[in-house]
Chain A
Amino acid sequence: MTVIDDMEASTESIAAGNGVLGQRMLRKEDPALLTGEAIFTNDMKVPGALHLAILRSPYAHAKILSVDVSAALEIPGVLHAYSGADLADQWAAPMPCAWPVTDDMKNPAHYPLAVSKAAYVGDGVACVLATSDAVARDAIEAIDVEYDPLPAVIDLEAALSDEVVIHDELGTNKSYTWPLVIEETEGDCQKAMDESAFVVKERYVQQRLLPMAMEPRAVVAMPQPFGGDMTLYSSTQVPHILKVMTALTLGIPEQQMRVVCPAVGGGFGSKLNVYAEELLCVQLARTLKVPVRWNEERGENTQATIHGRAQIQDIELAADENGKITGLRVRLIGDMGAYLQLVTPGVPLLGAFLYGGVYEIPKAFDFSCTSVFTTMTPTDAYRGAGRPEATYAIEHAMDALARKMGVDPLELRRRNFIQPEQFPYEAYTGLVYDSGDHDKAARVAEDILGYADMRAKQAAQNTPDAKKRLGIGVSTYFEMCGLAPSRVLASLNYSAGGWESATVRVLPTNKIQVVTGTAPHGQGHETAWSMIAADKFGVDPADVDVLHSDTAIAPLGLDTYGSRSLPVGGVAIAMACDKVIDKARKIAAHQMEANEDDLEFAGGMFRVKG
């Protein structure tokens, strides 16, 4: 049970704003979503729009020998059909990867449609524009593609052997090796492995998975042919990043690109990207001077939208005779898929800082990640992006160590917890943790479960001939999120920087307007952000309007992913509110002929104290 469960929802709007944070409020977003009034991208009615459909490779790896679109063009309602080669001169730059994790990272040129080789099932090879979605989808079946199938590369270690090289121009399937180097500790990890009482060595395989937002992706590109402006509507988490990247990839001046996200039906990281279909719609709309739209079918979503996870984790944990950890070594092989999408290479690295979990890990830490191309859908950020994988590995390794030592897994963890008096604690990675009391949290969990009793029950029940055995799992979870501008992000070459913006205005009718650079897709930012401003100004949250997800209305921002919106975007709003209130205080003091220090601000009003 969470605290929220105990709170009654208020059906009335909360009147006095100061103190509204922490109260339970009904969501502003809900009425439109509950009545069908909300407009998702594919709900948009766009007169004259042409529908894009994409023919996708049925092969994981194949040379494209020829593409014949002539039969598709004969179908009534089909206006245009293109192969990848037909559009090869349309791109000012390859599709973007914004996270060059090393200077020598290999990144194959990736275009919205493949030209000479299909590198995964779902790789686009040709497309059609027609007067309806149904006609466009019929027509792609009339396109004749001659393939020369090549061996698929799906095993990560086989990929590293370079027996079959996917991108000829790279000469290797390896994209990069990224070590996390802890200064002046060279050799310490090996020493711990050699000299410690206990060492466990485990291999875990993080399977690929499909992010599967309920709303498949959808795109509408609306050109203004006579001014050159372009509006891209997309089911995306990242309108601002998409705006910049579309401008760069297509050679459109940034000021002429506008990106709007209507209602977005979930993302889970899969809509944190710049996709081929977005670029195709914009470029075709731009050249043909008509609106172009595309909506993803679920089957396409499984092939053409990024996948998550996909790593092999080799982890070695050394401990002294008491189970105290003395060394930790992690070797990852990251599966990039066929190409690097927006932040593909960075995902495994985000975990590098979390392999130590909540434990006191000495600086005898040795981490390295080698990432490799395969003939599968590109991977990218998915829910936690690299960090849940790290937690999985350290927690399983702790269990393995507990088994080896014959120690209770919770007891082993407890012996390694960073202690409350050690905070602020500088971890093995150089990160400083401000606070924590892991033992207290563990005791709460123990009490809820009745851990000792449950262990006793388990011992009684799990006799050798027991038909039904009782299992008890123990895990801690430690997270690093809300990435903001920091030396850690800079050290990882994360190009976007991690900042966020907020603009707060008090309108002439005493309503508050909040403009945010975050881009919600189910999180309820309109409600939460209005509560932040209402709390600051002491007004009704209903009187706060939150504007977002349109780069013409909210021009600055870095969008919503990685649990960053509240800790970065929400804080920006709070800080902007403070600035407005400070400014208002000066004006109020002047008008009231009072000293600023003699004014109090509550309920949206300045009053002279006393």
Chain B
Amino acid sequence: MDVTVTINGQEHTHDVEPRTLLVHYIREHVGLTGTNIGCDTSSCGACSIHFNGEAVKSCTLLAVQADGQQVRTIEGMADADGTLHPMQQAFMENHGLQCGYCTPGMVMAATSLLEENANPTEQEVRIGLEGNLCRCTGYHNIVKSVLAAANA
């Protein structure tokens, strides 16, 4: 069936199997592979995107549920001229990533968190990102990055 989704401001229309997950749609049909798959079970948050402005795990939605909706992925975060989003910049400056596989999901979840709470405490950042797993950093520098972005 046909779905039309606006991703990073651009409209995409594809014929998809009804069972297609949104994350597979984004990666395989639209070809935006910055959104990573880590667990297949909605546990790790690597596939987090913005769905109508709110962070969701894109493996928990079907592509058909995104029909007519607004999606933003990691590819839509930096400016066209290459200027990083303040959250991306904060991750870079605070060594908030190592292998980088969880990072797109972390950035999407963290920006959504700051939309809801512009000045979170450290504890609020930790709770706000509990749906996103990282294996490299021990989270310390991720939390530092988000707090830095909040103060940027």
Chain A interface residues toward B at CB < 8 A: 9, 11, 26-27, 29-40, 42-43, 45, 134, 212-216, 263-266, 268, 297-299, 521-524
Contacts and interface: CB of A to CB of B under 8 A. Distances in A.
10 contacts: A9-B95, A26-B92, A31-B92, A35-B74, A35-B78, A36-B32, A40-B36, A214-B38, A263-B101, A298-B43
Contacts of B39: 298
Interface stretch (B50-58, B61-69, B115-123, B133-141): B133-141
A36 B99 contact: no
Nearest to A520: B99
Contacts of A29: 100
B91 A30 contact: yes
B38 A215 contact: yes
A32 B99 CA distance: 11
Given A43-B33, A298-B40, A298-B41, A215 B101 contact: yes
Interface in B96-140: 97-104, 107, 133-136
Contacts of A212: 135
B99 A214 contact: yes
A34 B135 contact: no
A36 B31 CA distance: 12
Contact of B35 (A11, A36, A215): A36
Nearest to B104: A36
B75 interface: yes
B73 interface: yes
Given A11-B93, A34-B107, A298-B41, A265 B100 contact: yes
B33 A263 contact: no
Interface string B82-98: 00100010011111011
Given A26-B93, A45-B31, A298-B38, A523 B135 contact: no
B135 to A, nearest CB: 5
Interface in B14-55: 17, 19, 24, 27, 31-41, 43-44, 46
A36 B73 contact: yes
Given A35-B34, A264-B99, A298-B39, A30 B92 contact: yes
Nearest to B39: A298
Contacts of B43: 298
Contacts of A523: 98
A295 to B, nearest CB: 8
Overall SS of chain A's interface: loop
A268 B84 contact: no
Given A216-B37, A524-B98, 5 more contacts: A32-B100, A34-B103, A36-B73, A134-B24, A214-B99
A266 B103 CA distance: 12
B150 interface: no
A576 to B, nearest CB: 26
Overall SS of chain B's interface: loop
Nearest to A213: B135
Nearest to B35: A36
B101 A27 contact: no
A263 B100 contact: yes
A610 to B, nearest CB: 42
B16 to A, nearest CB: 11
B77 interface: yes
A42 B44 CA distance: 17
A33 B104 CA distance: 8
Most buried by B among A9, A30, A213, A523: A30
A33 B100 contact: yes
Given A45-B31, A214-B134, A215-B38, A38 B93 contact: no
Given A45-B31, A214-B46, A297-B40, A36 B101 contact: no
Given A45-B31, A522-B100, A216 B38 contact: yes
A165 B68 CA distance: 60
Contact of A214 (B41, B88, B91, B133): B133
Contacts of B135: 212-214, 266, 268
A302 to B, nearest CB: 10
Contacts of A268: 135
Contacts of A298: 38-41, 43-44
A595 B70 CA distance: 70
Contact of A31 (B31, B38, B84): B84
Contact of B36 (A134, A215, A264, A524): A215
A521 B99 contact: yes
Please provide the 10 A-B residue pairs with the shortest distance between their CB atoms, ordered closest to farther: A36-B34, A522-B99, A33-B100, A265-B101, A43-B33, A36-B74, A522-B98, A214-B101, A266-B99, A298-B39
Nearest to B44: A214
A298 B38 CA distance: 7
A115 B73 CA distance: 44
A213 B99 CA distance: 10
Contact of B97 (A34, A36, A299, A521): A34
Nearest to B21: A134
Contacts of B40: 297-299
B64 to A, nearest CB: 15
B146 to A, nearest CB: 14
Given A215-B38, A266-B136, A522-B136, A34 B92 contact: yes
Nearest to A268: B135
Most buried by B among A33, A213, A268, A521: A33
A33 B78 CA distance: 12
B75 A36 contact: yes
B97 A40 contact: no
Contacts of A37: 34, 75
A212 B43 CA distance: 13
Given A298-B39, A299-B40, A33 B97 contact: yes
A35 B98 CA distance: 14
Given A35-B75, A37-B34, A298-B39, A30 B101 contact: no
B79 to A, nearest CB: 11
Nearest to B100: A33
Nearest to B91: A34
Contacts of A38: 34, 100
Most buried by B among A11, A297, A521, A522: A522
Contacts of A45: 31
A9 B100 contact: no
Given A26-B92, A30-B92, A298-B39, A215 B74 contact: no
A34 B101 contact: no
Contact of B92 (A27, A36, A215): A27
Nearest to A300: B40
A133 to B, nearest CB: 8
A355 to B, nearest CB: 28
Contacts of B24: 134
Nearest to B31: A45
A212 B42 CA distance: 15
Nearest to A43: B33
Contacts of A30: 91-92, 97, 100
